Structure 1
Amino acid sequence: MKPLLFNLDSDISLANALKDKLGADAGELDTRYFPDGESYLRVLSECNNRSVIIFCNLHQPNNKTLNLLFLASTVEALGAKRIGLATPYLPYMRQDKQFKPGECVSSRPFAKLLSSHFDWLVTLDPHLHRYHSLSEIYSLDSTVVHAAPMIAEWIKKHVKRPLLIGPDSESEQWVSDVAARANAPFQVLTKVRKGDYHVEVSLPQVEQWHQHTPVLVDDIISSGKTMLNTVQHLAAAKLATPVCIGVHGLFSNEAYDELARNATVVTCNCIPHASNKIDISEALADAIHAQL
């Protein structure tokens, strides 16, 4: 029996690509909001003894998580044999440590919440900083899809003589992997974060790279301050106009506009945006298929 894929408030084109690649049936839902703001959800598809995939991009998770749990609970009650979550962006991974007394380490309760409703999870490059793997906080089966091969392939096709630049020392292993796949040299910045919107970076010696195109690579572009600061340093060093690549383009406030005035901005199509140039559907579909 074909798996059933529900698209819950997420990118229609990516959901359709996954459905086609997986040979899945499209799940049908009736959703709306009552006048008091509460959610109504009804599953219209037959779920009994079927593998169910819920595709829900959890960017802006506070607006989506409740309906996600309602849907997972409903398909379980309807007899689904295995329920999985495919989310290109996994939120609440950056809150992985208590910096001040009383702070919520929100990655842990969020992981517990999802683990209690799903059998498996597929996501793309979650922000694993102080955790070595998702299994440290998630009790379901988890698969992490890595964007490095797709990013490297895009660089090889679109950038002549690239010089890859990582945002900080913690990015070295990841950026060096992309660089090796793209057959390109790389450098890593020294970064000091002084607040949510204040980041200082220092650039390694770049005089030897004036014939190269700088390619800044990071997992998340949120405020964009690290990249923007770096772009300004590159301009002062008279390097070529850089390319800024992010796996997840969150782009808070005016981050995208500020970057796009000074660089070419490219992201994976994890979160729908004008900068999407790198397609993740094939790799995501392969990881989902392995869970079915």
Structure 2
Amino acid sequence: MDVVLACSKAQVLGQRIAKQFSAELVEYETRKFSDGEIYSRILGNVNNKEVIIVQAGYPEPNDALIELFLVVDACRSLNSRRIRVVMPYFPYARQDKRFNRGESLSLHVIADLLKSMGVSLVVTADAHFKEDYGSYDFFGIKSYNISGGTVIAEHIKEKFKLDDFVIISPDLGSRGMIDEASKNVGAKTMKIDKKRKSETEVEMTANDLDVKGKDVLIIDDIISTGGTMLKAIELMKKAGANRVFAGATHGIFSKNSFKKLEKATNYLVTTDSIQTGVMEVTLAGEIMKVIEDSRVYF
């Protein structure tokens, strides 16, 4: 029987997954010592159980990883039958290649640690290092990458009773998301070409952009500084869009971007991969499908 253990940065998602599975949410405690070190202890029963550990890679990604490693080790010491990690926003995902001599392949290091500790499955969502969805090999660990695009589009369509709307991809990285989402909700798609000029400044162009008088949903895998999303919203408004909605799988919202985006768009939403004030969409259902699919197991 599956039990769910929600780490400190993924309490909401962990509770939602447990509810989806009708599974026990394992009692667990964690705290920081005065010197910043992390203490973790499993209080519930995980002996001979299949444990789903849920964690978010933001904020404080280093603390999130250390806590995850400690929890995995505790499960192993308590003789859990199988350990699966759900970490939709996976930290260090941008460091999957060496670009300069002497750099660490950080993502590989993390995967090696999880593999050596006996983790049998890792579930990610719109991982930065993956352009497609489904089962994949995560440096030797069986893994599965899900998309937040469809659940975001379904949420917007239902909430605003939309019959005809356009889904926009603000850059190359989110095109797989919107292709899948549009297929599932029956919406048209349009794509924007983006050129990044700095960390916060981007230049966008779109050929044959036909959104005048139409409702538009812009979906991206991640909102960090908000530069890409803000520029895309501006472009849609200039093109005469009726209402502009914005959604992302992962909401980091650094550099005061949350307030800017709330002001710029008709509606802003994220999934619960990271705990935000607008996480109205849950990934729990998509995660449940993966866990229950025997094809993702060794």
Fold match by TM threshold 0.5: yes
2:74 and 2:175 mapped to 1: Cα distance?
A: 43
Change (3 A) 1:179 1:4: closer
2:72 and 2:194 mapped to 1: Cα distance?
A: 41
- In the TM superposition, residue 72 of structure 1 has moved relative to its aligned partner by 0.9
Match of 1:247 among 239, 246, 249: 249
Change (3 A) 1:23 1:233: closer
| 2:221 corresponds to | 219
TM-score by length of 1: 0.88
TM-score by length of 2: 0.87
3-state SS of paired residue (1:271): coil
1:107-164 deviation digits (Å, cap 9, x = unpaired):
2222222222212112222123579987454312212222233233224322453121
| 2:125 corresponds to | 124
3-state SS of paired residue (1:265): strand
Change (3 A) 1:41 1:128: closer
Which runs of 5 or more structure 1 residues have no equivalent in the other structure? none
Change (3 A) 1:253 1:134: farther
3-state SS of paired residue (1:278): coil
Q: Which amino acid aligns with 2:28?
A: L
- In the TM superposition, residue 189 of structure 1 has moved relative to its aligned partner by 0.8
Partners of 1:4 and 1:24 within 8 A in 2? yes
Backbone CA RMSD of aligned residues: 2.4
| 1:140 corresponds to | 141
| 1:62 corresponds to | 62
Q: Which amino acid aligns with 2:113?
A: L
1:81 and 1:11 mapped to 2: Cα distance?
A: 23
Partners of 2:12 and 2:275 within 8 A in 1? no
| 1:275 corresponds to | 278
> Size of the alignment, in residue pairs?
290
| 1:188 corresponds to | 191
- In the TM superposition, residue 216 of structure 1 has moved relative to its aligned partner by 0.9
Change (3 A) 1:174 1:36: closer
Question: Which stretch has the larger CA shift, 259-268 or 168-177?
Answer: 168-177
1:45 aligns with 2:37: no
State the percentage of identical aligned residues.
27
Partners of 1:155 and 1:162 within 8 A in 2? no
Superposition misfits of 4+ residues, deviation over 6 angstroms: 130-134
Partners of 2:58 and 2:91 within 8 A in 1? yes
1:149 and 1:235 mapped to 2: Cα distance?
A: 24
Change (3 A) 1:235 1:64: same
Change (3 A) 1:41 1:231: closer
Q: Which amino acid aligns with 2:204?
A: V
Change (3 A) 1:162 1:290: same
